Structure 1
Amino acid sequence: MHMRKSTLVFVLCAGLTACESEAEREREQRREVQAKSSVAPDGSIHLTPGQVRTNNIQTSAAAEEDVAPGISVPGRVKPRAGGESGVFAPFAGRLVADAAQVPRPGSEVREGQLLGEVEQIFPASERLQIRATSIQLQTGIDQARQEVDLSQKELDRARQLYEGGAIPLKQLQTAEFNVRQAQSKLEGTEHSKAEYDAAAVQQSEQRRTAIRAPIAGTVVSVDLVGGQQVDPAKSLLTIVDTSTLWIELAVPESNLPQIRRTASAEISAPSNPGRIYTGRLVNVGATVDPQNRTVPVIFSVANGDKGLRLDMYVEGRIATGPPQKTTIVPASAVVSEQGISSVFVETEPGVFRRRIVTAGARQAGNIVILSGLKPGEKVVSLGAQALNSETLKSLIPAGEEGERR
């Protein structure tokens, strides 16, 4: 009996201990959630110096600069007029080219660089025609010789008759004239055949002509293999001069009055955001795209660093007025969600507050802030997305967060 009581007491104690341990674990989980949630009731985010370092949070002061108002529009990289050239064979034939001589797509070529040779070979039908004409000319020579022989015999007979007094002198002279005429015809026929045969020999021989690069630039397409049959209507290579390219910007027709006096634009590519190219106005299109109601506006850009590539997507910023004092922040400082832009302002060391702003155009890696921020205020320039995630996490109830763990 005493043993059963002792066992019962032990089981009850163990159960109480297990319950207390489970409750303690739940309290510990809540404390962990509360400790990790650094968002205060007023919405500000409080981080310790260690948390700032761990999350690599960096700040910079909003700057004030003279920035011209403008519009930002999308565009594409195109070859300039006269900066693209196809390479064609001068006549049909067989291509003669060393594999090491044929350039590859992306390689650079010089103007006049030898790319290969095309070898012209006359078809059998043309060679048969040449032979038939030669035989015809030879037949004419044979006939002319027969006429010479016949006229010579007539002359010999006329001389005998004249010496015998049977014919007058005039008839003898006629026979002599006929001989000279027949000989002249024979000589002419022989000369014509000799000239034709010489030309036919030269024409029927294989003729090679060099194929050279018409311009200097980058090879963008190649359809050139040694030994292939080529046609003068088919392009063998396409070369583009990429040192200067055209940027075709799609400007909404409603913005045309604003850019009427523009002469330049700032061009940037998302693939290389730190590089800004200066474009010089070439032409404003005369037609409107009926689909998106935009007008093509072309700018010429020097591409010495080869950072721009054909058909690359770019963004162009065209000034629409004189420079004005404007607040700017790094583009990485602006967080955009559902059409709302915001920045995280450091109100005191380690304390950050989300602030909604009105963002304007991009400006050389920065974004213009039209309202909501003053010059000199510190904003998070690196790590804004991490703070935004922390803000969103604070909207989840602590119990739900603990259950997810």
Structure 2
Amino acid sequence: MNKKGIIIAVILVTALGGGVAYRLAHSPGGSEQAEHAEHAEEGHGDEKGGHAEGKEEKGHDEHGEKQVKMALEVQKQSGVVVAPAKKQQLAGVISATGKVEANADRIAHVSPRISGKIVAVRASLGDSVGGGQVLATLDSVELGEAMSRYHQSKTRLALAQSNMDRVKVLVDKKIAARKEILQAETDYRTAQTDLHTDQERLSLYGVSAADLKADRRPLLPVRSPIGGVITEKHAIVGELADPAKSLYTIADLSSVWVLVDIHEKDLAKVRRGQAATVVVSAFPETRFRGRITYLADVVDEATRTIKARVEVANPGRKLKPEMFASVELATAADAPPVLAVPEEAVQELEGRKLVFIAEGDTVFEPRKVELGRASGGMVEVVSGLKEGERFAAKGGFVLKSELLKGEIEGHDH
């Protein structure tokens, strides 16, 4: 009985499995529905991707039109100044290169008036010195001889004074003749002249009145004739110095020269007294003001240029001799007025020149502009800005920083 039941169960299972296989194999559109479902799933995924890409493009467009919002109080604190765009005449500019040199009118080579041995050095290279300051002292044989002559003259004057007083008494008593008093007065005046000559000689050597009163033999001081900086020093203790040998070179660098080459074609636009602006690479943000004080009369045959000398005030001694400099010479504003903005109002972003336009009181929109020529801190705007439009004349860099900060925060989100 058990054996018969098992056989029946096996037959039923086999029949059921064959029926299911047959139905799947012959079911119409079964594989097509599966494929359709797969394609539908893929299409849905593509559609989602397409929607995502559309959002990115929209964000990019909105990013391109991004504005900067800044409250009025923050603008004031950040130095943002809004002004209307207007036309103005731009002065022409002649650009040239040059080299800084010490002002030759403010250089002094210091040497002693007479020969002597250096016994003390009181100033060194690079020191700032004042006019009349002692730089070195000398022990001089010639000074000793001059001092000896001075003392002799002083003694002769005292004798002449005494003799003149004695003769006056004798003349009053009718003991001496009148001509003797005349001779005594002549000798006294001669002694006075000799003493004065010796005093002047010692003064020229640098000996003061206090040194003359002292009993000791004075040393010869070597003084700086001008205030400035020591740029050369040759004074060494123990060496002999004489008037032909310069011990120090003093340069007053509060004013320097910049020698530039002016092209022959620009000579008609250049004159003495013309204003000039000097910039050096060491201080690119600083503009030094000066004027042309000299124009050469001879054109260089090889370069077809002439030398011009610009005298420049040098506060803080920032300009050093031998520095290279860029020089701009302002010429007359003879061109018609053009729309111009300060150079600091123009900012560069991703290779584009931008000006921040004021949309109301607290909103700024960056706008691309095309620029023309620049002069005197102003630059011409060829396109992108209309006359009368309000823009950020100052503080453009602050607005650019805020714009970039907003972009970074947008990417983070």
Residues 1:262 and 1:60: Cα distance change in structure 2 (over 3 Å): farther
Give me the whole-angstrom Cα distance separating, in 1, the residues matched to 2:218 and 2:325. 48
Confirm whether residue 353 of structure 1 aligns to residue 374 of structure 2.
Answer: no
Amino acid at match of 1:371: V
1:217-243 CA-to-partner distances (Å, cap 9, x unmatched) read 311425366735355576432212345
**Structure 2 residue aligned with 1:236, among 244, 247, 250?**
247
- How does 1:193-204 map onto structure 2 within 5 Å? none
Match of 1:248, SS state, is strand
2:162 aligns with none
Amino acid at match of 1:49: M
**Structure 2 residue aligned with 1:68, among 83, 91, 94?**
91
Give me the whole-angstrom Cα distance separating, in 2, the residues matched to 1:52 and 1:39. 31
1:199-234 CA-to-partner distances (Å, cap 9, x unmatched) read xxxxxxx99543222x42311425366735355576
Amino acid at match of 1:259: K
Amino acid at match of 2:107: E
1:329 aligns with 341
Give me the whole-angstrom Cα distance separating, in 1, the residues matched to 2:297 and 2:407. 51
**Structure 2 residue aligned with 1:116, among 136, 141, 144?**
136
Give me the whole-angstrom Cα distance separating, in 1, the residues matched to 2:95 and 2:126. 33
Confirm whether residue 218 of structure 1 aligns to residue 228 of structure 2.
Answer: yes
**Structure 2 residue aligned with 1:319, among 330, 345, 356?**
330
Residues 1:237 and 1:119: Cα distance change in structure 2 (over 3 Å): same
1:351-372 CA-to-partner distances (Å, cap 9, x unmatched) read 3123223143341xx2222523
Give me the whole-angstrom Cα distance separating, in 2, the residues matched to 1:81 and 1:46. 56
Match of 1:85, SS state, is strand
CA contact (8 A) 1:38 1:45 kept: no
**Structure 2 residue aligned with 1:107, among 107, 128, 137?**
128
Confirm whether residue 264 of structure 1 aligns to residue 274 of structure 2.
Answer: yes
How many percent of aligned residue pairs carry the same amino acid? 21
Give me the whole-angstrom Cα distance separating, in 2, the residues matched to 1:285 and 1:340. 45
1:371 aligns with 382
Deviation at residue 279 of structure 1 after TM alignment? 0.5
Q: Which has the higher helix share?
A: 2
Deviation at residue 308 of structure 1 after TM alignment? 5.8
Confirm whether residue 297 of structure 1 aligns to residue 345 of structure 2.
Answer: no
Give me the whole-angstrom Cα distance separating, in 2, the residues matched to 1:284 and 1:246. 14
1:87 aligns with 110
1:58 aligns with 80
Residues 1:316 and 1:218: Cα distance change in structure 2 (over 3 Å): same
Q: Point out where structure 2 has 5 or more consecutive residues left out of the alignment.
A: 1-51, 143-216
Give the paired residue count: 275
Deviation at residue 95 of structure 1 after TM alignment? 2.0
Confirm whether residue 47 of structure 1 aligns to residue 68 of structure 2.
Answer: yes
Give me the whole-angstrom Cα distance separating, in 2, the residues matched to 1:93 and 1:377. 77
Give me the whole-angstrom Cα distance separating, in 2, the residues matched to 1:389 and 1:39. 19
Residues 1:68 and 1:231: Cα distance change in structure 2 (over 3 Å): same
Deviation at residue 272 of structure 1 after TM alignment? 8.8
1:129 aligns with none
Residues 1:395 and 1:46: Cα distance change in structure 2 (over 3 Å): closer
Deviation at residue 98 of structure 1 after TM alignment? 6.1
Q: Taking structure 2 as the reference length, what is the TM-score of the superposition? A: 0.50
Deviation at residue 282 of structure 1 after TM alignment? 0.9
Deviation at residue 69 of structure 1 after TM alignment? 1.4
Give me the whole-angstrom Cα distance separating, in 2, the residues matched to 1:234 and 1:374. 69
Deviation at residue 332 of structure 1 after TM alignment? 2.0
| RMSD, matched Cα | 4.8
Give me the whole-angstrom Cα distance separating, in 1, the residues matched to 2:308 and 2:254. 20
Give me the whole-angstrom Cα distance separating, in 2, the residues matched to 1:391 and 1:65. 30
Q: Which has the higher strand share?
A: 1
Residues 1:217 and 1:360: Cα distance change in structure 2 (over 3 Å): farther
Match of 1:41, SS state, is helix
Residues 1:273 and 1:396: Cα distance change in structure 2 (over 3 Å): closer
Amino acid at match of 1:97: A
Deviation at residue 249 of structure 1 after TM alignment? 2.8
Confirm whether residue 283 of structure 1 aligns to residue 295 of structure 2.
Answer: yes
Q: Point out where structure 1 has 5 or more consecutive residues left out of the alignment.
A: 1-29, 123-205
